[in-house]
Amino acid sequence: MYEFDWSSIPGALPYLWIGMVMTLKITVVAIIAGIVWGTLLALMRMSPIKVLSWFGAGYVNLFRSIPLVMVLLWFFLIVPSLLVSLFDIPRSYDTRLISAMVAFSLFEAAYYSEIIRAGIRSVSKGQMGAANALGMSYAQAMRLIILPQAFRNMVPLLLTQGIILFQDTSLVYVSSLADFFGTAYLVGSRDGRLVELLLFSGAVYFIISFSASQLVKHFQKRTSL
């Protein structure tokens, strides 16, 4: 029978906290950048200009058809050398965090764009007509009238996607970037207590994700009233 020994966890908490900050940084950046880029992709996809709508559709289909972990790996291999050659950054500079943020943002944008496209569709067509009839341009109507309503309808879905993203950030272990999961793994290996550390980090992911999704549900109930 395996004997649990949790004694290495208290001493590791400061390191784990640093890892959690890293995880949250990637999550928040990817959510914000993903929503902004995703909105642009959704608008491109709905554009009457063929080139734009093809690009939007192609982008979304491409990113939704390849595993996230591969996208991450490619970016860890490509982005560092690109940054070094573009901005004259010393080779020793750690670009792993940046490339993780870029990869997650680009990947999540594909998913966000589909949510946002559905959100824009959920706004009645007459709203665009009314905005145009008042003399607003397409861009003004989108920005002032359509998107605010679309985002209001989409908030629960966007947050749920954010929670999934929060869990997916653990995939950065492929670059041995010390996020929360990576740090737990390192500490566990060092002390020979891998099982305990993985159980502990799993519990932390569960508590955060579960409370966040309960919050979303609560929010959803309030807005649907």
Q: Least distance (Å) from another protein to the CB of residue 121?
A: 16
HEC letters along the chain: CCCCCCCHHHHHHHHHHHHHHHHHHHHHHHHHHHHHHHHHHHHHHCCCCHHHHHHHHHHHHHHHCCCHHHHHHHHHHHHHHHHHHHHCCCCCCCCHHHHHHHHHHHHHHHHHHHHHHHHHHCCCHHHHHHHHHCCCCHHHHHHHHHHHHHHHHHHHHHHHHHHHHHHHHHHHHHHCCCCHHHHHHHHHHHHCCHHHHHHHHHHHHHHHHHHHHHHHHHHHHHHHC
Tell me how far, at minimum, the Cβ of 160 lies from another protein, in Å: 22
Question: Which CB, 73 or 136, lies closer to another protein?
Answer: 136
C-alpha–C-alpha distance, residues 202 and 184, integer Å: 10
Q: Which of 129, 203, 215, 223 binds another protein (CB under 8 A)?
A: 129
**What span, in angstroms and rounded, lies between the C-alpha atoms of 169 and 24?**
9
Within 21-60, the residues that bind another protein by CB under 8 A are none
For residue 64, the minimal CB distance to another protein (Å) is 30
Q: Applying CB under 8 A, what is the total number of residues that bind another protein?
A: 18
Shortest distance in whole angstroms from residue 151 CB to another protein: 10
* 15 versus 151: smaller Cβ distance to another protein: 151
Least distance between another protein and beta carbon 223 (Å) = 12
Closest to another protein by CB, 132 vs 170, is 132
Instruction: Provide the minimum distance between the beta carbon of 130 and another protein in the complex, in angstroms, as a whole number.
Output: 4
Q: Is residue 71 a contact partner of residue 101, using CB atoms and an 8 Å limit?
A: no
Of residues 131-170, those binding another protein (CB under 8 A): 131-137, 140, 144-145, 148-149, 152
- Determine, following the binding rule CB under 8 A, whether residue 122 of this chain makes contact with another protein: no
Distance CA 6, CA 176 (A): 24
**Residue with smaller CB distance to another protein, 140 or 176:** 140
Q: Which one, 140 or 214, has the nearer CB to another protein?
A: 140
Nearer to another protein, 129 or 202 (CB): 129
Minimum CB distance to another protein smaller for 7 or for 124: 124
Binding site for another protein (CB under 8 A): 124, 126-127, 129-137, 140, 144-145, 148-149, 152
